[in-house]
């Protein structure tokens, strides 16, 4: 599939948060604050691109030639945990300001299902290396876009009066649903 | 163990209802239900609830993995070094997920394909990690099993309820059998992703209303 098409589809029509529901926990819990949400969004985009490419290389150059595909989940999660640590060490060494800005988010990303999910989707759809990179980068941007948008919508909620029983999580789900409808409206242009 | 509000513990009757195991079980099943109490594990709750069969298989997979994982961690709690416990949890849960995934591929290949990556994503499911870290690591094995069963069945209950309404409205069927008349068109909105969000939001609204009424 065309790289530009994959990039567009993964950002808008097949958005990782709104159509595959990945990375929902931070989506509900930290989207109250746009500044925090954008920090998380940038971190997710970087880590997603790096780990999906690394996992593609490991799967296709190491595991498949050796016939060890059944270990893929274990290897994927170890790769992600290791790479997150390495990125953390590099950031601490070369850009302490950025490192402190990310704070707790980098270690938390290890257990973010969106990161593992992108590696798994790339594997299930048998993408080539550059398709994987485009898909992972697009998904990261798409997640970033979705969490910023929901953060903005939740800010407006301060002036609204939804039923009390919804709670924070319920009303966020309804907002996300309305947003997902808007994103799905583009499906005719391109979808994965 | 705190006496949770609204929990009807009969003064007379079965002795089962007055044990600590039962309290822990009900705590996970209702008061601290993963989906509507603690808002954990939403990814799979939204993704696999379009059909009841998918939701059932997913719930069973999570219950099995949760119980076995918590039990292993509870048994090994004195052996696991504190600093690397997260990595230990991940290795244990990954191994279990690989086993369950292979079994699903063999016994229910169609549903395994429909679930796609969501079975593998149980590795990063917050419920598994949460129960391991919050309960299994510093409680005896017996209580841990009750806790894991409660949380797992609470997750299953939420998934099945959401899936019941999504399949009924979105496809007009239950477990694949058509139940509404052929002349009626199902509301396809509930079978596509935005419908999952609406169903979850409404589910949380209804449950909160019930809980509030029972607390009064």
Return the bridge partners of B173, or none. B178
Among chain A, residues having any CB pair with chain B shorter than 8 Å are 18-25, 28-29, 70-71, 73-74, 77-78, 81, 111-113, 115-117, 120-121, 124, 163, 165-167, 169-174, 176-178, 180-181, 184
What is the percentage of chain A residues whose pLDDT exceeds 70?
99
Minimal Cβ distance to B120: which of A23, A120, A174: A120
Residues A135, B107: Cα–Cα separation, whole Å: 32
Mutation for testing the B interface, residue in A14, A74, A116, A184 having most B CBs under 10 Å:
A74
pLDDT tens profile B140-181: 999 999 999 999 999 999 999 999 999 999 999 999 888 888
Q: What are phi and psi of B50, to 5 degrees?
A: -70, -30
Is B75 inside a domain boundary?
yes
Q: What are phi and psi of B174, to 5 degrees?
A: -130, 125
Tell me what the mean pLDDT of segment A72-94 comes to. Answer: 89
The DSSP code for B118 is G
Tell me what the mean pLDDT of segment B27-38 comes to. Answer: 86
Structurally, chain B folds into a number of domains equal to 1
- Which of the four pLDDT bands, split at 50, 70 and 90, describes residue B15? low
What pLDDT does residue B2 have? 40
Is B8 inside a domain boundary?
no
The whole-angstrom distance between B145's CA and the closest CA on chain A is: 24
pLDDT tens profile B87-105: 889 899 999 999 999 999 9
Phi/psi-derived region of residue A191, left when phi > 0, alpha when psi is between -120 and 50, beta in every other case: beta
The whole-angstrom distance between A73's CA and the closest CA on chain B is: 7
- Which of the four pLDDT bands, split at 50, 70 and 90, describes residue B62? very high
- Which of the four pLDDT bands, split at 50, 70 and 90, describes residue B1? very low
Residues B24, B47: Cα–Cα separation, whole Å: 28
Residues A103, B71: Cα–Cα separation, whole Å: 33
Q: Which of B180, B202, B179, B208 is nearest to B49 (CA)?
A: B202
What pLDDT does residue A110 have? 77
Mutation for testing the A interface, residue in B44, B92, B117 having most A CBs under 10 Å:
B117
Is B14 inside a domain boundary?
no
Return the bridge partners of B177, or none. B174
Q: What are phi and psi of B11, to 5 degrees?
A: -70, -40
Return the bridge partners of B178, or none. B173
The whole-angstrom distance between B155's CA and the closest CA on chain A is: 15
- Domain with B136 in it: 19-215
What pLDDT does residue B11 have? 55
Contacts of A155 (CB under 8 A, 6+ apart): A34
How far CA B121 is from CA of A163, B12, B40, in Å, comes to 33, 44, 13
Q: What residue in A sits closest to B194 (Cα-Cα)?
A: A177
Q: Say if residues B176 and B56 touch (Cβ distance below 8 Å).
A: no
Is B183 inside a domain boundary?
yes
Buried b (16+ CB within 10 A) or exposed e, A127-149: beeebbbbbbbbbbbbbbbbbbb
Minimal Cβ distance to A21: which of B42, B87, B209: B42
The whole-angstrom distance between A65's CA and the closest CA on chain B is: 20
The larger pLDDT score, comparing residue A11 to residue A97, is at: A11
Residues of chain B with Cβ-Cβ distance to A63 below 8 Å are none
B42, two tokens = 């939403």
Residues of chain A with Cβ-Cβ distance to B204 below 8 Å are 166-167, 169-170, 173
Residue B3 confidence (pLDDT) above 50: no
Q: Which of A142, A118, A139 is nearest to A59 (CA)?
A: A118
Mean pLDDT of chain B, nearest integer: 87
A51, two tokens = 């780990």
What pLDDT does residue B7 have? 42
Is B186 inside a domain boundary?
yes
The complex's ipTM works out to: 0.88
Residue B8 confidence (pLDDT) above 60: no
Q: Say if residues A147 and A41 touch (Cβ distance below 8 Å).
A: yes
The whole-angstrom distance between A4's CA and the closest CA on chain B is: 24
Residues B24, B150: Cα–Cα separation, whole Å: 7
Range with lowest mean pLDDT among A177-186, B4-13, B56-65, B184-193: B4-13
Contacts of B10 (CB under 8 A, 6+ apart): B17, B18
Helix (H) or strand (E) holding A83: helix A72-94
A39, two tokens = 């920090």
Q: Say if residues A21 and B196 touch (Cβ distance below 8 Å).
A: yes
The DSSP code for B124 is G
- Tell me, rounded to whole angstroms, the distance of Cα B205 from its chain centroid: 18
What pLDDT does residue B16 have? 67
Tell me what the mean pLDDT of segment A8-29 comes to. Answer: 88
CB under 8 Å, gap of 24 or more: what pairs does B105-111 form? B108/B57, B111/B53, B111/B54, B111/B57
Asked whether the beta carbons of residue B101 and residue A73 sit closer than 8 angstroms, the reply is yes
Helix (H) or strand (E) holding A153: helix A129-157
What pLDDT does residue A105 have? 73
If you average pLDDT over each of A46-60, B74-88, B117-131, which comes out highest? A46-60
- Which of the four pLDDT bands, split at 50, 70 and 90, describes residue A58? very high
A175, two tokens = 């907002």
């Amino acid at each position: 599939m065309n790289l530009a098409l994959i990039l567009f589809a993964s950002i808008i029509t097949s958005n990782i948060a709104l159509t595959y529901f990945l990375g929902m926990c931070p989506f509900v819990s930290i989207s109250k604050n746009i500044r925090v949400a954008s920090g998380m969004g940038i971190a997710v985009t970087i880590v997603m691109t790096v780990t999906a490419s690394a996992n593609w290389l490991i799967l296709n150059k190491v595991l498949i030639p050796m016939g060890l595909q059944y270990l893929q989940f274990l290897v994927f999660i170890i790769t992600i945990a290791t790479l997150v640590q390495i990125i953390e060490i590099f950031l601490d060494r070369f850009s302490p300001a950025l490192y402190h800005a990310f704070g707790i988010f980098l270690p938390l990303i290890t257990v973010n299902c969106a990161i593992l999910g992108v590696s798994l989707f790339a594997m299930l759809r048998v993408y080539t290396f550059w398709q994987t990179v485009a898909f992972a980068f697009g998904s990261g941007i798409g997640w970033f876009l979705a969490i910023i948008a929901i953060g903005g919508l939740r800010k407006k909620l301060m002036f609204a009066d939804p039923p009390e029983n919804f709670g924070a999580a319920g009303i966020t789900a309804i907002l996300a649903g309305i947003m997902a409808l808007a994103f799905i409206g583009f499906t005719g242009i391109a979808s994965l | 163990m705190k006496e949770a509000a609204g929990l009807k513990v009969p003064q007379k009757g079965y002795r089962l209802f007055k044990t600590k195991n039962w309290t822990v079980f009900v705590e996970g099943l209702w008061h601290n239900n993963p989906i509507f109490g603690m808002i954990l594990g939403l990814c799979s709750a939204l993704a696999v609830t379009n059909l009841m069969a998918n939701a059932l298989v997913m719930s069973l997979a999570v219950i099995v993995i949760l119980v076995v994982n918590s039990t292993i961690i509870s048994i090994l709690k004195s052996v696991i070094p504190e600093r690397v416990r997260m990595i230990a949890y991940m290795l244990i849960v990954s191994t279990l997920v690989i086993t369950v995934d292979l079994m699903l591929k063999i016994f229910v290949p169609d549903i395994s394909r429909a679930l796609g990556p969501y079975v593998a994503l149980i590795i990063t499911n917050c419920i598994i990690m949460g129960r391991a870290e919050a309960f299994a690591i510093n409680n005896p094995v017996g209580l841990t099993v009750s806790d894991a069963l409660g949380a797992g069945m609470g997750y299953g209950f939420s998934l099945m309820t959401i899936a019941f309404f999504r399949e009924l409205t979105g496809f007009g069927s239950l477990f694949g059998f058509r139940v509404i008349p052929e002349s009626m068109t199902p509301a396809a909105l509930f079978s596509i992703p935005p419908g999952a969000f609406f169903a979850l939001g409404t589910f949380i609204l209804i449950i909160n209303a019930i809980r509030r009424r029972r607390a009064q």
